[in-house]
Structures are given as C-alpha cells and as structure tokens.
Structure 1
Amino acid sequence: MKTINLKKGMISKIGIGAFAVITMVFAGCEFIEDLPEANSIDDETPPSAFFTFSAGVEVENFNEVQFANQSDNATDFLWDLGDGTTSTDIDPVVIYPGEGEFTVTLTVSDALGQTDVYSETFELIEPDAPAVPDPVLLNPEFVRSPKSSGSDCTCSGWINTDVGEQGESSSGNGSDVLKFDDREPDHVYQEFAVTPNADYRVEIPYLFQSDIATGNLPSSLEIRVLAGEGYVDGYTPAYFTDTTEIPQSGFGYTSVDQTLIADNNLDIQVVTNPADSEYRTFTFIFNSGSNDSVALYIRGIGNAGPEDPADFARYGFSSGDEEIRIDSVTITAVN
C-alpha cells in the first residue's frame, strides 16, 4: 500500500486484481472510484456466436439436425436447443420429436468472461415418402424366348425344376401364352426385388380350357408369394435381365416342401374354373413384409392321377383334369 500525504487530505492506493481502489478523503468525506490498472488492456478479440445447421432428407431421419458451430474466439458454448434441452457440445446432433418450429440459441463466452448470443428459428417438415418402384420381372409377357438350355419357350425366365415341371408354350388371347397341362406338375417361378413393407398388386389374365369343370378332379390355379429371405441360410437372390442366363434349378426354393411352410408364404390365392371360355384377369394385393426379395410361384393343382407317376412322386402335386393358360403377370406397387 502506498500513502501520499496531502495538505487537505490523504489518498490511499491498494492494488486489487486488474484495478486499484483509490480512497480519497477530504474534510471528512470519502469517495471510492475504480480505475483501470496501469498495465490493463481492452479485450480486442471478443467472442462472436454463429452456427449453421442441416436436417436429414429422408423420411426416417428428417428430424435429425446437425449443428455446425462457426463461432469465433470462444472457449465455452451453451446451446438452448428449442425442445426443452440444452447442450455444451461444440457441434451437437439433435433428434427432435417430430415436425414443428424450433428456436435454437447459442451463447458463447471466452476466458475473460465476455459473451455473445446468436439465435435462429427453423421448421421441420416430414417429407413425403418416395414412391415405391414397380418390380422388374423377366419375361412377364410369356414371350417365346431362348433359355439356358433346351428349346425356346414362353416359360423362359420362369423355370425352377426343383419345385415343378416347366410350364409349356401355347397361344391364345392374341399372343403367346403359357399353359399348365392337365394331370402334370407344371409351374412357373421367379424371384424379384421388392421394397420392404410395401403393397403390390398382381394381375394375371387366365383361361381354363374347358368352359365347365370336367372330370372328377377339376384343376385350380394356385398362386403363392413366397418370402425371398431366410428359407435357406446364406442364400442371396440374384436377378437376371437375360433369359439365357437364369438357371433352371439349384437356386431359391429347392423343394416343394419348402414352399408349403406357412412362415414362408406371404400370400396364397387359389383360382377355380369360372365356367366360361373367356380370358379373365385375376387380381390381388400382397404386402412384402420385411422382405426385399420375394418369389412368385404359380402352379396347377387338383391332384388327379398324373400322366407320369414318377413326376407325381417327385413333386407331390399335379393339375386336375383341365388345362389352364395364363397370358402374362403384371406386378405394380400400390402408392
């Protein structure tokens, strides 16, 4: 402490931190004044608060917001995130509860205790779900085409001889068609990619060759939509664009018994003879569930005595006493 004696009073100077407290006493009156320390300087680099942000662009993450802190000269950060929560992270990532308007405030400070504040208000809007694409089928019109072995056939792209005999070529309805002969275990089978948890419409123009149910065991057209995953450990479906490349056995479902397991079936439809001689279109809708691949398995059933008992013994089914023809398979996403 330094004391200076004056004629009319006394000044006492006591050093405290960055300032000096000077007490001036004159004629019984006391005055106190804070003065800068002789060597102190102004804060020439005060903090400046600022941030940008970006939200997710997909339906499932539109409410996930990434904040990018672009403040200058700051050492501490306090975020009011506008949803009742706060954060001291430099660049917080926030999952908001859903759609709505949110005001976010960032308060920054530096080592000298100086602060700055920046706020911004934004609105989160859930985007529309993208349209589910239609599945891509190989030879959906049953055009007579080459296959990996054997002669050209309307069944090209639709053969899996592990679950049935191939359907056969015929004509009708103004074009090539595929037929399931009576008393034979004929089928078509194809795997294709789908979007999980989506609805799909299936349309199949068909004709029973007889305009009345004939024989003791009339034919029926059975359509199964099979789960494309999980029925064989480690199996990954492969999709083809050329009928000469797709195999005819040893892939996907490798036995009829597998196709009959309830857990493997997403949908089962059975069409009986409508008792007329016109092509009709059978339509139904299935949901893909958790699958990103499904198999369409269509066969004639009726369990009449087969022409070849060995084929019936192998597959365990055959169509009845009527021939069935199908003109095409169209599958579209229901958006």
Structure 2
Amino acid sequence: MKKQIKKIVGFTAALALVFAFHSCDDLEKYELPEAGSIADATPPEADFSFTQGAGPDEEWKDYTFANLSTSATTYSWDYGDGNTSTDVDGANTYPGEGTYTVTLTASDALGVVSESTQIVEVVEPPTPAVPDPVIINGDFDKLAKLGSSNLCSCSGWDNDDIGEQGESSSGNGGSDNVVKFDNNEPDHVYQEFAVTPNADYSITIVTSHKTIASTPGTYPGSTLEIRILAGAGYNAGYTPTYYTAAPDFPNSGYGYTTVAQVETAANNLLVETIPNPNDDDYFTQTYTFNAGANDSVALFIRGIGGDSSVGSYGYSSGDEEIRADSVTITAVN
C-alpha cells in the first residue's frame, strides 16, 4: 500500500514538472481534434476568366466573369469599382476607362476560403474605320449600257426619269474618257451607293468648261450642279440595289423618279455648283457631306443655266460643253 502511494505521489510530481516547463501556447500543439472531425481533403481554389463586351454604343464597358473555381459552394465578387456580387458567375459595367482590381473569394461548406485576384484594364476599343463607298465607273469610261451594245461614258450613271444621258467625249489626255453636258440639253449622271449612317464623306470631281460662248442665240455661262440625295427621300419602301458592273445598272424606274423629288430641299444632303470659269483647263473640286440617318444616297450631277423649256425636265445645260473627267467619294476617318 505504501508503494502504491509513492507511485501516485511520483506521477503527480512529474506532471507538475511538465506544467512548469511548458506554456499554454505549447500545450495547444498537443490538443486532440474534436470527436468525429476530418481534414478538408478538397479545399476550394478560386479562379476566373473575364471577357470584354463590344458594340457600337458603350458595350465595351460591360464585362462578364466566368467562375472557374473548384470545391467551393459560395462566392463573393469585388469588381474593383465599388460594385460587388455573390452570383456564381460575375458581370459588371464599369464607369469608364481605367485599371480595376477584381477579386473572387470562394468558400466551401467547412469555411475554408480561397481568393483569386486579377487586374482588368478597361480600354475603349478604336472606332472601326468607315469604308469607302463603291462607285461604279467613276472614271466615266466608255462602256456598254444595259440592254444595248452602244458604248457610253454614262454607263452606270443613267436615270432617264430625271434627265437625258450625258454623252461620251475625250479630254484631259485621254480618248472617250469623260462625260459631257452640252448642246442646251437636260444632261445628267446619277448613281446610288451604300454609305454608313452619320459618317462624313469627301467627294472630289475633276471638270472642265469650254470657253463661254458668244455666238448670238446660244446659252452661255453654263453651270455644273452636284447634289447628294438622301436615300430615304424618294420612297420610304425603296431598297437600292447595288451592281458590280456598269452595264448592269438600269436606265429608269428606280431611285428618284421626278425632278421635283430631286429639288426638294429636305432630300438634299449637299448642293454645290461649279460656274464656268471661262478657262477650259481641268480643275479639281472637293466637297464634304454627312450621310445623316441614311444607309444609301445618290449622286446626281447635271448641267444648268440653259433654256429650261427645252425637253420635259425643267432644266437644261447651256450650249458650252462641260466635261466631267472623274468623280471619287471617300470616307473621312
């Protein structure tokens, strides 16, 4: 019995020595796990990717975030601009260009947390360049017309509902390479083409006027008029058809069908005149216009200043020959 008491006293003393040489912090290292607990064998791992929106308005500010996290049940997004979300996948509209730090916090049912952080550079994409319009036979070459073997520099440019066709002539160092307006006739050229709404365009035309006539009975001082006509001005239900070759263009029954429509102010995006300079050299003129709400327009050029009672169109060029050598239209980017 005495031996047993000595053993107990000895064990108690040894235990006292253990507590004397170990702090509370040290003892925590040796705490046993709670009954039934197991280690988190599949802790969460946060990860994500993102995509910038695109579009004609301000969709470039819109970002979507794809959640690529694993072993997680709850999520918290911080988009870096003050906006947050607890959705699985994220989406955010940023206020503008800038650098934003995006953090995804992913947690599992055991309360284990993982974070993934990425830098998002929000940059407005450059505005796509407006393409140049497609103009057919802008050099006024002498080509076959629709339904005819006759050659004319007006090929691709004729609309008999609003004028008589301009005719072929030679000039500016070439042969049969210009279209002319003369002989006190209602000569014109007309062609429709596609444009980008609200875009700016430049039109360049190279022309020449014969010396002002002085013969009695003539109509001197003829003027060349250039108009850009709105594509919706003549018929709200009309859709222009674009052709790839000059001989395919119709000669009538399309687009503007009366001179009254042509001369209606609301239908005109540009009206310019080139009076006779009394110098038969070739001169280059450049003008600009905006397409407005139109996705198609028409270029209409005619001679004016002659006897307007000639023919049935209400206008006529003078007797002096006016020559158009070329016309080009380009987008102003």
The corresponding residue for 1:142 is 140
Distance 1:89 1:226, change over 3 A: farther
Aligned match of 2:294 in 291, 296, 299?
291
Alignment check: 8 A CA contact 1:50 1:71 kept:
yes
Q: Which runs of 5+ in 1 are unaligned?
A: 1-33
Match of 2:207 in 1: 206
| Of 77, 92, 97, the match for 2:75 | 77
Moved more, 214-223 or 124-133: 214-223
| Corresponding residue number in structure 1 for 2:194 | 193
Distance 1:46 1:205 in 2: 76
Equivalent-residue separation in structure 2 for 1:231 and 1:119 (angstroms) = 58
Matched, 1:41 2:42: no
- Secondary structure at the counterpart of residue 62 of structure 1: helix
Aligned-pair identity (%): 56
Partner of 2:277: 274
Asked whether the equivalents of residues 213 and 221 of structure 2 are also in contact (C-alpha less than 8 Å), the reply is no
TM-score, normalised with respect to structure 2? 0.82
User: Take 1:112 and 1:229, find their aligned partners in 2: how far apart are those partners?
Assistant: 66
Higher strand share: 1
Kindly state the Cα deviation for residue 254 of structure 1 after the two structures are TM-superposed. 1.9
Change (3 A) 1:262 1:65: same
Q: Mark the runs of 5 or more structure 2 residues left unpaired by the alignment.
A: 1-30
- Residues 243, 291 of structure 1: CA spacing in aligned structure 2 closer, same or farther, 3 A cutoff? same
Q: Is the 8 Å Cα contact of residues 226 and 295 (structure 1) preserved in structure 2?
A: yes
Structure 1 segments of 4+ aligned residues over 6 angstroms from their partners: none
Verify: 1:53 aligned to 2:50, yes or no.
yes
Whole-angstrom CA distance in 2 between matches of 1:37 and 1:136: 80
Deviation at 1:247, TM superposition (A): 1.1
Contact 2:219 2:305 in 1 (8 A): no
Distance, in Å, in 1 between the alignment partners of 2:87 and 2:268 is 50
TM-score, length-scaled by structure 1? 0.81
Match 1:229 to one of 227, 232, 246: 232
Per-residue CA distance 1:215-274 (angstroms, 9 max, x = gap): 566321111111223642222222111122111112222222222222221111111111
2:308–2:314 contact (8 Å) kept in structure 1:
no
Q: Distance in 2 between matches of 1:289 and 1:256?
A: 22
Q: Which amino acid aligns with 2:262?
A: T
CA contact (8 A) 2:141 2:152 kept: yes
Contact 2:212-2:221 at 8 Å conserved across structures: no
> Any residues of structure 2 matched to 1:19-38 within 5 Å, and which?
36-38=33-35
Distance in 2 between the 1:249 and 1:86 partners? 63
Kindly provide the CA deviation profile for residues 155-209 of structure 1, in whole angstroms up to 9, marking residues without a partner as x.
Answer: 0000111221111111111222101123211111111122232222211111122
Question: What letter corresponds to residue 233 of structure 1 in structure 2?
Answer: A
Tell me, yes or no, if structure 1 residue 89 matches structure 2 residue 75. no
Partner residue in 1 for 2:25: none
Offset of residue 97 of structure 1:
2.0
User: Counterparts of 2:306 and 2:83 in 1: how far apart (Å)?
Assistant: 67
1:46 counterpart letter in structure 2? P
Deviations 1:10-45 (A, max 9, x none): xxxxxxxxxxxxxxxxxxxxxxxx965432323322
Query: Higher helix fraction: Structure 1 or Structure 2?
Result: 2
Mark the CA change 1:46 to 1:231 in structure 2 (over 3 Å): closer, same or farther. Answer: farther
Measure, in 1, the Cα distance between the counterparts of 2:288 and 2:186. 26
Whole-angstrom distance in 1 between the partners of 2:265 and 2:206: 26
What secondary structure, in the 3-state scheme, does the structure 2 residue paired with 1:54 have?
strand
Partner Cα separation in structure 2 for residue 63 and residue 231 of structure 1: 39
Aligned to 2:251: 248
Letter in 2 for 1:39: G
Equivalent residue number for residue 3 of structure 1: none
Match of 2:119 among 118, 121, 137: 121
Number of matched pairs: 300
